[in-house]
Amino acid sequence: MVFELRNIFKDYLQGREAVPVLKDITLSVDEGEYVAIMGPSGSGKSTLMNIIGCLDKQTRGDFIFDGANIGRCSDKQLSDIRNRKIGFVFQNFNLLPRQSALENVELPLLYAGVSKRKRRELAKEALRTVGLEDRMNFKPTQLSGGQKQRVAIARAIVNKPKLLLADEPTGALDTKSGDDVMELFEELNRDGVTIVMITHEPEIADHAGRIMYIRDGELHKGAFNSRIKNNELSEQEEQQ
Ligand SMILES: Nc1ncnc2c1ncn2[C@@H]1O[C@H](COP(=O)(O)OP(=O)(O)OP(=O)(O)O)[C@@H](O)[C@H]1O
Ligand SMILES: [Mg+2]
């Protein structure tokens, strides 16, 4: 198992009043799964993603990531987990504008203390995986939206994380670039990368093996995607 959310609640304080945003969310994701989380604007998707990504803590409930109880981790331990075990992909790419594609992809390795030579080698390999080896010296302003997102994906996978976490990865892209990103996610998932993707577009969610729905902060089980003919998944489905 990669992570497990057990009866997670998240409240935000509005003045003195606690506004409940996530309500009793329970979800576990296994190694190699590809899960989409769908829901309308304001339903709590990004709030949930921030908890899964160890960027924010729940108000109540347990969150176990790769065997560690996140609620009991120090800030240092949390940033370690984020750097080493989670790759993030955002709607707006979040690339450093003055750095080249290669330097952007090297960044997580710099934080992880990897040597310069090794950083170069691994970053080039990740850019090759996303098909952008020939653009490695380009800055973000010299890249198209789809290319920027592929650089962001290379950055997210460069240190071989346990989990690839994506919040609306195609939200800022045209249909063709969005499809390219989906194809890349499918390839990565086939190679064993666990993916959790947040989206409000059904055609995008349809690429995942399992779809969950969040509405008013409550998570509802969706069907296993019929396009996935994986035995393990259908066994799970029978058990549920
Ligand atoms: N820092 C915050 N303080 C107070 N309320 C917040 C905060 N962040 C989010 N919220 C509230 O929590 C609810 C869920 O927000 P969230 O960003 O998780 O929605 P979302 O599903 O990601 O929406 P979208 O599709 O528009 O990105 C919203 O009602 C929002 O106003
Ligand atoms: Mg959001």
Q: pLDDT digits over 197-239, tens only? A: 999 999 999 999 999 999 999 999 875 555 544 444 444 455 5
User: Which ligand gives the minimal distance to the CA of 44?
Assistant: 1
Q: What is the pLDDT of residue 227?
A: 52
Class of residue 29 by CB neighbours under 10 A (exposed 0-12, middle 13-18, buried 19+): buried
What integer is the mean pLDDT of 43-59? 95
Using the mean position of ligand 2's atoms as its centre, give its distance from the Cα of residue 58 in Å: 17
CB of 199 closer than 6 A to ligand 1?
no
Which atom belonging to ligand 1 lies closest to the Cα atom of 39? 21
Class of residue 239 by CB neighbours under 10 A (exposed 0-12, middle 13-18, buried 19+): exposed
Cα 235 to chain center, whole Å? 25
Which atom belonging to ligand 1 lies closest to the Cα atom of 48? 18
CB of 141 closer than 6 A to ligand 1?
no
**Residue bearing the CA closest to ligand 1, atom 29:** 42
The residues spanned by each domain of the chain are 3-239
The residues facing 65 across adjacent strands are 3, 68
For 129, phi and psi rounded to 5 degrees?
Answer: -55, -40
User: Which ligand gives the minimal distance to the CA of 47?
Assistant: 1
- Fold topology of 3-239: Rossmann fold (3.40.50)
For 186, phi and psi rounded to 5 degrees?
Answer: -65, -40
Q: What is the pLDDT of residue 224?
A: 54
CB of 10 closer than 6 A to ligand 1?
no
**Residue bearing the CA closest to ligand 1, atom 26:** 41
- What is the model's pTM? 0.90
Using the mean position of ligand 1's atoms as its centre, give its distance from the Cα of residue 214 in Å: 12
Q: How far apart are CA 190 and CA 34, in angstroms?
A: 10
Q: pLDDT digits over 132-181, tens only? A: 999 999 999 999 999 999 999 999 999 999 999 999 999 999 999 999 99
Residue 30, pLDDT above cutoff 80: yes
Q: What is the pLDDT of residue 51?
A: 96
Cα 108 to chain center, whole Å? 15
> Do residues 112 and 83 touch, judged by C-beta distance below 8 A?
yes
Q: How far apart are CA 167 and CA 164, in angstroms?
A: 10
What integer is the mean pLDDT of 83-112? 96
Using the mean position of ligand 2's atoms as its centre, give its distance from the Cα of residue 167 in Å: 7
